[in-house]
Chains A and B, each alone.
Chain A
Amino acid sequence: MSFSLASLAVIAALASGLLPLLRPRSNRVIKVISFPLLGLAGLSGVLGGGMTLLQGVRYQLELPVGLPWLHSQLYLDPLSGFFLLVVGLVTLVAAVYGPAYVREYEQGPQPLFPLTLFTGLFVAGMDLVLLAADAFSFMISWELMSVASYFLVAYQHQHEVNRRSAFIYLLMAQVGGLFILLGFGVLARFGGSFDFSVMSQAVLPDGWATVAFVLAFIGFGMKAGVVPLHVWLPQAHPVAPSHISALLSGVMLKVAVYGFIRFTYQMLGGIHWQWGALVLFVGSASAVLGVLYALMQHDLKRLLAYHSVENIGIIYIGLGLSMIFAGTGHQALAALGLIAALYHCLNHALFKSLLFFGAGAILQQTHEHDLERMGGLIRRLPVTATCFLIGCISISALPPFNGFVSEWLTFQTALQGTVLNNHILAALIPVAAAVLALTGALAAACFVKVFGVCFLGMPRSEGCAVAREISLGPQVGQILLALLCLLFGVLPTWTVAQLETIARLFFPAGMPETTAHGWLWLTPVAPEVASYGAPLVLLGICLAWALAWLWLHPRRRRTPVRISPAWDCGFGPLNARMQYTATAFSMPIRRIFRPVWPISESYQEPGKEEHGGRYRLQIGDWAWSKLYEPIARLVLGAANRLTIIQGGNIRTYLAYSFFTLLLLLLVVSL
């Protein structure tokens, strides 16, 4: 049953992309056909994946297509079911959100059908990656996913910036895919076949196992967006349409994490703790650098893209801890770390897509993408503002919402580091946890900035002063995601119990004590060690709020609230320019952490006619100038050297053929 639902998801996604091609010119037909089918694809993904996860079953299917000696294998187990659920959920919300959003593109210079065509192919590609059970189908689906998303990123190709960002995205996706292919190649050499189940049985010598791991880590890491392989993320996610950005950020990155988990935990077999230490280090670096770069952005979608880098870092911290414990023989703690990482995958998909959908609503209604030109939108877009607030609270990892639970579980996993025999490692794990704490606090600072500058205060531009709330479809989508954020924050025990099914695939003993005390309490390791009663926390907050409100209610009647102008020091009415801007808000952090960014700051004195000077602040990304530009220069330099071969002289070319012939004759005669 769940397998047929999963197949339905793939077929519906393909249909949503391909069927509108029958009448590509009619926008109404396109929207009527493709979005409901996309919604169906999302819904069946949710149901199929959910059922697989809840029942803990596995399915296998062999399709007659594929290479002659290797037919395409499909496999659905709780791990792929979980990720299928995540993909389906965001796809469903995107389908609800889409129709009102793409109205804006109908007036644009490019036609609508490429958008729906490639969205369908993209979702189908992601679902197939999750179902693939042999390297060939995996790579085909991976390429389908990458290329379809390239066309989506390049949808508004009339802008030079978009074309360049899409090109970098495609380039890095291809390079990453190459690394993944090489990783599969190493495994296949020792396993004898490209089938995943055969590769899992392969026994690799230590050195080759590390080589395979490093190749897969780089390949999947490039797609997931870990530092320093993240540079395509902040370029590609802002230029895509917003519901596509939500899909890219919310689910495509998780598909990369899925690939990494499948490769390392299932196919490589024995995990070495050194790999876990590498993953932990890279995860911590991604988390803190991602959030620091995000703090300095004032383009809303680019800021959200950098936050995806940060959250992928947090997921990798959980995975790294899990791998360290697995490598040193602590299976239950490894299961806990894996559960924390998977929970964060789910949470990030929910709140990041919520934030991107909100950003899309703002973009559509105000036509502004720069934070410095927004303000006061809470009165103009109240529903969007409330849902966006819930997204901000969730991503800042604050109780009682979902982001807090996964970070809490990660902290609890890190705390168990004292069981390790290697004391150096036991001393470094708390440092990684402190980095995680720094990241969480900086993320909260960033989202206070975002919400405060964007929604609160007074409007800083004309577009924001007259914006109206977005139509019903997007509102429903956002409300749904916000409710899910609250739900997964208040029912962590049930969620962890389901995720434990996945952890049992790799660590048969699981981590049963976490959920052993009923649905109210989350108790990793043991109740004396730590406990969190999420529903009671929510109840407590509401109770205290109600008590305070009730006590003060009689006074409210006696002394009603008086509205009056804000205090202005006697200088006269305040205007929107006097508020704190986003750049000003993050200035102390910019000064404290200055070496992290390449900053160029300049101030020009006012001229004769002007009142104020001009201030210019430009913040870049060190990865470009330190890593990618030298590589690009190297490649171009080598290419320039090689052009000597192409001299242009006909006789030289003939001489090449002649000498090659001589060489081959010599080789044959030896």
Chain B
Amino acid sequence: MNGWLLALLQTGLVVFTAPFLAGWVKWVKCRLQARQGPPAWQPYRNLLRLFSKEVVVAESASPIFRIAPYVVFSVTALACSVVPLVAVGLPTATLADVIVLVGFFALGRFFLALAGMDVGTAFGGMGSSREMTIASLVEPAMLMGVFTLAMTVHSTNLATMIGYLLASPFQLYPSFVFAAMGMMLVAVAETGRIPVDNPATHLELTMVHEAMILEYSGRHLALMEWAAMLKLMIYGVLLVNLFIPWGVAVDFAPLSLLLGLLAISGKLLLLGSALAFAETGLAKMRLFRVPQYLSLAFILCLLGMLSHVILEMN
């Protein structure tokens, strides 16, 4: 029972601190651009404000429009319970492995794209079309990265992966270096950050994610935005905990849990700052440059896999 309670707490922690991470990234970006910027807890105020606002639904919308925010949010919240934030070995970690996690995001994206097409406007269709195109190019790169990791640790279970890396002595895996680089590019594409998609744009032709949720308002919009922030947090946790796993708690003792909490907070804040740096330094690519970007990610992961086979296997 202790494990399940801890898992519930961890899920709650992920769900309720994700807006802070998004706010932190935005604050660092503003500071880098010599602006004062909103405080890091601004997303909480945005969400609360949206939850109390009126919901306006278009005449041509169908039931899919109204259930999509719930599906997207619940699937992403379930994914939160699977990622190891503070500790490994929780019972929810065996619910799904990395490939199932990818499947969860795919399910959320499916309903998000359907919601974009639902009202019958051109913006939504455009957003859905672009999102599905980008997603279909991201999947091979992501899977190749996952395979590279899984070939070394002989598992796709997140808890086993991190446990294996913590248990073995420190080694420099060339395959992991490449997989990390590739997965970073993939994470940027999946979470819709610059240079693939601009999360703060107002111009319809530069939107991907925003175009699909353009028609949403009130609590539905709050759920969609929250789900996007959750996705950013989940990818961040995966990147830092899979490639720099030191600090993650392997047992449930209070001291190691506290250490794990501190470690993940530090790592995520650093990753958020790095993301803010990258977003400030790069410009958004036009849509037909994204395939080249994603094929670079695929080649990185492919090189990682080849490095494993050539350099690390005996």
Chain B nearest CB, measured from A594 CB (Å)? 11
Contacts of B148 in A (CB 8 A): 430
Contacts of A175 in B (CB 8 A): none
Cβ of A555 under 8 Å from chain B: yes
Interface size class of A (residues with CB under 8 A): 35 or more
Q: Contact check, A562 vs B56: say whether CB atoms are below 8 A apart.
A: yes
Q: Contact check, B140 vs A530: say whether CB atoms are below 8 A apart.
A: no
Contacts of A562 in B (CB 8 A): 54-57
Interface secondary structure of B, over-half rule: helix
How far, in whole Å, are A524 and B91 apart by their CA atoms in the complex?
18
Cβ of B280 under 8 Å from chain A: no
Q: Pick from B96, B120, B125, B128: contact of A566, CB below 8 A.
A: B120
How far, in whole Å, are A404 and B107 apart by their CA atoms in the complex?
10
Stretch from A585-593, A606-614, A642-650, A655-663 contacting the other chain: A585-593
Residue of B nearest to A559 (CB): B54
Q: Contact check, A589 vs B136: say whether CB atoms are below 8 A apart.
A: yes
Contact digits for A370-404, partner B, Cβ 8 Å, 1 yes 0 no: 00000110110000000001000100111100001
How far, in whole Å, are A585 and B131 apart by their CA atoms in the complex?
10
Contacts of A548 in B (CB 8 A): 70, 73-74, 77, 223
Interface secondary structure of A, over-half rule: helix
**Given A437-B140, A440-B139, A537-B96, do A430 and B110 touch, yes or no (CB 8 Å)?**
no
How far, in whole Å, are A253 and B290 apart by their CA atoms in the complex?
37
How far, in whole Å, are A528 and B150 apart by their CA atoms in the complex?
12
Q: Pick from B215, B302, B305: contact of A567, CB below 8 A.
A: B215
Contact digits for B50-71, partner A, Cβ 8 Å, 1 yes 0 no: 0111111111111110100011
Q: Contact check, B128 vs A452: say whether CB atoms are below 8 A apart.
A: yes
Q: Contact check, A592 vs B288: say whether CB atoms are below 8 A apart.
A: yes
Residue of B nearest to A458 (CB): B120
Cβ of B121 under 8 Å from chain A: yes
Contacts of A451 in B (CB 8 A): 114
Chain B residues numbered 77-119 whose CB sits less than 8 Å from any CB in chain A: 77-78, 81, 94-97, 99-100, 103-104, 106-107, 109-110, 113-114, 116-119
How far, in whole Å, are A427 and B77 apart by their CA atoms in the complex?
35
Contacts of B56 in A (CB 8 A): 561-564
Chain A residues numbered 399-414 whose CB sits less than 8 Å from any CB in chain B: 399, 404, 408, 411-412, 414
Contacts of A555 in B (CB 8 A): 51-52, 219
- 6 interchain residue pairs of minimum CB distance: A580-B125, A452-B117, A544-B74, A457-B120, A445-B132, A566-B58
A-B contact pairs, 21 of them (CB 8 A): A427-B305, A434-B143, A438-B140, A441-B137, A445-B133, A448-B114, A451-B114, A452-B118, A456-B118, A457-B117, A533-B95, A533-B96, A544-B77, A559-B54, A559-B55, A563-B59, A565-B58, A567-B214, A578-B122, A580-B125, A592-B291
Known: A458-B120, A567-B215, A591-B288. 16 other contacts (CB 8 A): A393-B107, A397-B103, A415-B156, A435-B140, A437-B139, A444-B106, A444-B136, A445-B135, A448-B132, A456-B120, A537-B95, A544-B73, A549-B70, A562-B55, A563-B56, A567-B214
A-contacting residues of B (Cβ < 8 Å)?
A: 51-64, 66, 70-71, 73-75, 77-78, 81, 94-97, 99-100, 103-104, 106-107, 109-110, 113-114, 116-122, 124-126, 128-130, 132-133, 135-144, 147-148, 150-151, 154-157, 160, 214-215, 218-219, 223, 287-288, 291, 298, 302, 305-306, 309-310, 313
B-contacting residues of A (Cβ < 8 Å)?
A: 375-376, 378-379, 389, 393, 396-399, 404, 408, 411-412, 414-415, 418, 423, 426-427, 430-431, 433-435, 437-438, 440-442, 444-445, 447-449, 451-453, 455-458, 521, 527-533, 536-537, 540-545, 548-549, 552, 555, 559-568, 574, 576, 578-580, 584-589, 591-592
